Amino acid sequence: MSGGSLLKVLGLTINYYTLEGVVKAVRNASLCVNRGESICIVGESGSGKSTLGLAISLSLPRNAVAEGSIIYEGVDLLKLNPLERQKYRGEISMVFQDPATTFSPLFTIGEHLIDILRHRFRVSRDEAVVRARELLRKVQLPDQDRVLRAYPHELSGGMLQRAAIAAALATDPKVLVADEPTTMLDVTTQSQILELIKVLKRELDLTLLFITHNLGIASEVCNRTAVMYAGVIVEEGSTDEVLLNPLHPYTAKLVKAVPSLTKRRERLSHIPGMLPDLRNPPAGCPFAERCEFTTHYFDYSPVKHVEAGPGRRVACILYSGVKA
Amino acid sequence: MIAMFKQYLNAMRRNPMGLIGLIIVSSFVVMGLLAPYILTRPEDAWGLTYDVGKRFKPPSLEHLFGTDECGRDVFNRVLLGTRFSLMVGVGVVALSLAIGIPIGLAAGYVGGKLGTALMRVTDMFLAFPPLLLAIALAATFGRGLFNTMLALSLSWWPWYSRLIYIQASSVKSMPFVDAAKVVGLSELRIMFRHVLPNVLTPVITQATLDIGSAILEASALSFLGIGVPPPIPEWGLLVSSGWQTVSRAWWISFFPGLFIVVTVLGFNLLGDVVKELMDPRLRNLMAMRRMRL
């Protein structure tokens, strides 16, 4: 790891104001990302991991209200006025889940890239074309001129995702948030994209925030992992430790639910029960209802994060007595 | 620009009906522009003459489309009417788009209180039957070409703003809007460069179809006596002027009516090509369909 913390999320709470009520998507999340690190946010659908990613890349929808702080290079991004915030957009870039909708269907890939480059660096059109071609080369797309002229629907999913990565890198970002960038792709393309992201991270000295529900991908790409459940970061630590020695009962169940290719099992294990209603989340441990360690004299008061080793935190009352 | 033109030519080649539409519309435009110079009987055309002896003459070599109840040459009147009817049709739609698109786009993309406010105003206009509102407004503004256009536009724009609003509020949650936000493009730029082109297709199509309806509605106002004032040879007015005598002299209403039909058809055919040009996905689809034919 080269250098101290680049991005710090402190006590971040994000609420969506919808017609059905206030959805508390992320609650009191704290995360420290060091420069050059790659950190994974793992969780099932609806756990708030994408919302966290959107918040960090400063592109939450208008009906979302974020409280707490996101400190990037010593500046609290949430305290900035919109004009100042605009300067930081692009510093933290993002790759989205579905490459087919990352580009406006009416413009070619080239038009998208040139638009971004000209807006960001105020360069001439010719210069932007040169840079766009360079970006496409960087993401290992062959025949760059053809891709520049292509409309989004004319490219395959894998090529589009590469182009989307090129677009995300066009602003010369320091942090790249990748929100399930491989979920919509088939398995062979998935591994190629993962490989590409790893190579780019090394080459461009990126700090990577990788959002996924796939623990296998997490172990492959990231050195640290944070597990989210119902808007709360329940466990955090080095990827190997989290996956091999999960502390939180939820993580343990998640790891167990990964189907194995080698071991034949009677049935796939799953986690019984459902996510709590995020409009009215439980005050205590969000996983209590589904947790096998819950007893009827369970304490429903808020759970504190416990340091359980170097860089290891867990939010579970099982460990409230444990001291590192 | 040249690339645009090439695309257009290509689309035309693939879609011969569109070419026909383009030919019809452009020849009407040329006709409208040149009308004052090619009229054989300008006094008849402008409706300044009255000749009892020549009333209700059927079509002949001398009077191609016959003569009307005042003995005026219908061909000349229809020819001159081209410019007025096109002006009304295009003008009404253009004015309505100019009001409807910004309102719908702002309401849909910005949303929130602004969006609600704008859409409730739109709803207020939509609450009136369109022709009724146009009649009320036209009666208030008084007769005249521009007043007719204004009255029709004011009853017309809510449809466009509604259409744009619905599209914009769904397009704004598309990932490419987020992607544009992430890389730091400004909201206005996103609104006009990314959202607007993506919501325009149905509106452009609707607008090309509406040019015909606008011509018809303008003629309805003229017919009621609150639209374009009589001596002006607007097509709708010409149709209604021959309406009472249609059993004796069909040609007075028939020819201007025919011109309306052909113009509307031309705009509709053209609308299809425009739609295809606006959407690259459709562009390829159409190309494929042609190839299989």
The first and second tokens of residue A104, run together, are: 């406006």
Residues of A with Cβ-Cβ distance to B194 under 8 angstroms: 104
Positions of chain B with pLDDT under 70: 1-5, 7-8, 11-12, 14, 45, 51, 71, 278-293
The first and second tokens of residue B158, run together, are: 């809510």
Residue B179 to residue A164, Cβ atoms within 8 A: yes
Nearest to A101 among B111, B176, B180 (CB): B176
Question: Sign of the C-alpha dihedral, residues A273, A274, A279, A281?
Answer: positive
CB A47 within 8 A of CB A279: no
As a whole number of angstroms, the distance between CA B96 and CA B86 comes to: 15
Task: Look at residue A232 and tell me whether its pLDDT is greater than 90.
Answer: no
Which of A35-49, A156-170, B28-42 has the lowest average pLDDT? B28-42
| End-to-end C-alpha distance for chain A, whole angstroms | 23
Q: Does A50 touch chain B (CB under 8 A)?
A: no
Task: Tell me, yes or no, whether A106 lies in a domain.
Answer: no
Residue B184 to residue A86, Cβ atoms within 8 A: yes
CATH number of the domain encompassing residue A48: 3.40.50.300
Q: Does A93 touch chain B (CB under 8 A)?
A: yes
- In the A/B pair of chains, how many CB contacts fall below 8 A? 80
Q: DSSP code of A270?
A: -
Residue B184 to residue A171, Cβ atoms within 8 A: yes
- Confidence grade of residue A131 (pLDDT, cut at 50, 70, 90): very high
Query: Which residues neighbour B275 within 8 Å (Cβ) at sequence distance 6 or greater?
Result: B201, B204, B205, B282
Q: How many domains does chain A have?
A: 1
Single out the residue of A177, A183, A272, A288 nearest to residue A230, CA to CA.
A288
Which of A166-175, A234-243, A274-283 has the lowest average pLDDT? A274-283
Of chain A, the percentage scoring pLDDT greater than 70 comes to 91
For residue range A233-249, list pLDDT tens digits in order: 888 888 888 888 888 88
Locate the chain A residue with the closest alpha carbon to B277: A106
Task: Tell me, yes or no, whether A140 lies in a domain.
Answer: no
Tell me which of 3.40.950.10, 2.40.50.100, 1.10.3720.10, 2.120.10.30 is the CATH number of domain B72-292: 1.10.3720.10
So what's the pLDDT on residue B291? 55
So what's the pLDDT on residue A132? 92
Q: Does A107 touch chain B (CB under 8 A)?
A: yes
Q: DSSP code of A277?
A: P
Question: How far does Cα A57 stand from its chain's mean position?
Answer: 10
Question: What is residue B157's three-state secondary structure?
Answer: helix
Task: Tell me, yes or no, whether A196 lies in a domain.
Answer: yes
Query: Which residues neighbour B64 within 8 Å (Cβ) at sequence distance 6 or greater?
Result: B74, B75
Nearest to B112 among A62, A104, A168 (CB): A62
As a whole number of angstroms, the distance between CA B208 and CA B273 comes to: 10
Residues of B with Cβ-Cβ distance to A119 under 8 angstroms: 183-185, 189
Task: Look at residue A16 and tell me whether its pLDDT is greater than 80.
Answer: yes
Domain residue spans in chain B?
Answer: 72-292
- Distance from the B93 Cα atom to the nearest Cα atom in chain A, whole angstroms: 24
DSSP class per residue in A82-109: HHHHHHHBTTEEEE-S-GGGTS-TTS-H
pTM for this predicted structure = 0.74
Q: Does B6 touch chain A (CB under 8 A)?
A: no
Task: Look at residue A289 and tell me whether its pLDDT is greater than 80.
Answer: no
ipTM for the assembly: 0.70
* Domain that includes residue A15, residue range: 5-91+173-319
Question: Sign of the C-alpha dihedral, residues A53, A191, A35, A135?
Answer: negative
Residues written for chain A: 324
Q: Does B188 touch chain A (CB under 8 A)?
A: no
Please state, rounded to an integer, the average pLDDT across all residues of chain A.
Answer: 84
So what's the pLDDT on residue B153? 92
So what's the pLDDT on residue A260? 67
So what's the pLDDT on residue A324? 39
Locate the chain A residue with the closest alpha carbon to B183: A90
- Distance from the B207 Cα atom to the nearest Cα atom in chain A, whole angstroms: 20
Question: How far does Cα A78 stand from its chain's mean position?
Answer: 18
Query: Which phi and psi angles does A130 have, rounded to 5°?
Result: -60, -45
Single out the residue of B18, B61, B84 nearest to residue B272, CA to CA.
B18
Residue A105 to residue B186, Cβ atoms within 8 A: no
Cα B227 to Cα A292, B11, B113: the distances in Å are 79, 38, 38
Residues of A with Cβ-Cβ distance to B180 under 8 angstroms: 104
Single out the residue of A87, A92, A71 nearest to residue A119, CA to CA.
A87
So what's the pLDDT on residue B178? 84
Residues of B with Cβ-Cβ distance to A168 under 8 angstroms: 179, 182-183
Query: Which phi and psi angles does B13 have, rounded to 5°?
Result: -65, -40
Single out the residue of A209, A143, A207 nearest to residue A181, CA to CA.
A209
Residues of A with Cβ-Cβ distance to B184 under 8 angstroms: 86-87, 89-90, 119-120, 171
Stretch A80-95: mean pLDDT, rounded? 84
So what's the pLDDT on residue A154? 87
So what's the pLDDT on residue A135? 92
Nearest to A101 among B174, B183, B281 (CB): B174
Nearest to A90 among B176, B184, B281 (CB): B184
Residues paired with A177 in a beta bridge: A94, A209
Residue B193 to residue A105, Cβ atoms within 8 A: no
Q: Does B42 touch chain A (CB under 8 A)?
A: no
Nearest to B281 among A59, A94, A153 (CB): A153
As a whole number of angstroms, the distance between CA A179 and CA A97 comes to: 6
Say if strands A5-18 and A64-72 run parallel, antiparallel, or are unpaired. antiparallel
Of chain A, the percentage scoring pLDDT greater than 90 comes to 13
- Distance from the B196 Cα atom to the nearest Cα atom in chain A, whole angstroms: 11
Pick among B116, B170, B182 to test the A interface (most A CBs inside 10 A): B182
Task: Tell me, yes or no, whether A227 lies in a domain.
Answer: yes
Residues of B with Cβ-Cβ distance to A96 under 8 angstroms: 175, 178-179
